[in-house]
């Protein structure tokens, strides 16, 4: 799953035409959306994006970062990333379904408030425009 998600995130970031690299810090605050996958292996996938980064994406998509539904935008980003991971996996002969994304919430202490426990192999960390965002995935 990690390789599919990593490629999907890179595809997403390239689609919004930003330069990016790996982030070195762990997630602390931001907005969280979740999508589950169902197949041979089942995962919960969490997309964690700080509000300032979501504002940047809203500006790119809509030309305005002051008037958008942050929950809907975050769910759409999650759907695009995990949906692309599904397409990538299918091209390699691995099939799974994805659920409708759900907005989990916003927090200043994500790992505690949403009980997101992970190992270094369960998280992808990306940085663009000096802000990090994260994809956390756990087999369920």
Q: Where are the domains of the chain?
A: 2-139
| Distance separating alpha carbons of residues 74 and 92, to the nearest angstrom | 27
89-140 pLDDT tens trace: 999 999 999 999 999 999 887 766 667 677 777 889 998 878 888 999 988 8
Q: Tell me the whole-structure pTM to 2 decimals.
A: 0.88
* Superfamily for the 2-139 domain: CheC-like (3.40.1550.10)
* CA quadruple 135, 98, 42, 7: dihedral sign: negative
58-94 pLDDT tens trace: 888 888 778 889 999 999 999 999 999 999 999 999 9
Phi, psi of 87, deg, nearest 5: -65, -45
């Amino acid at each position: 799953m990690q390789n599919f998600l990593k490629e999907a995130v890179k595809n997403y970031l390239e689609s919004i035409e930003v330069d990016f690299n790996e982030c070195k810090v762990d997630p602390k605050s931001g907005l969280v959306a979740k999508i589950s996958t169902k197949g041979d292996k089942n995962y919960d996938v969490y997309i964690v994006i700080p509000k300032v980064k979501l504002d940047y994406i809203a500006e790119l998509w809509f030309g305005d970062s002051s008037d958008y539904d942050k929950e809907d935008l975050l769910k759409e980003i999650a759907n695009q990333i995990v949906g692309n991971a599904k397409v990538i996996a299918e091209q390699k002969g691995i099939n799974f379904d994805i659920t409708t994304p759900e907005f989990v919430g916003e927090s200043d202490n994500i790992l505690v408030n949403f009980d997101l426990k992970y190992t270094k192999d369960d998280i992808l960390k990306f940085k663009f425009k000096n802000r990090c965002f994260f994809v956390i995935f756990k087999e369920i």
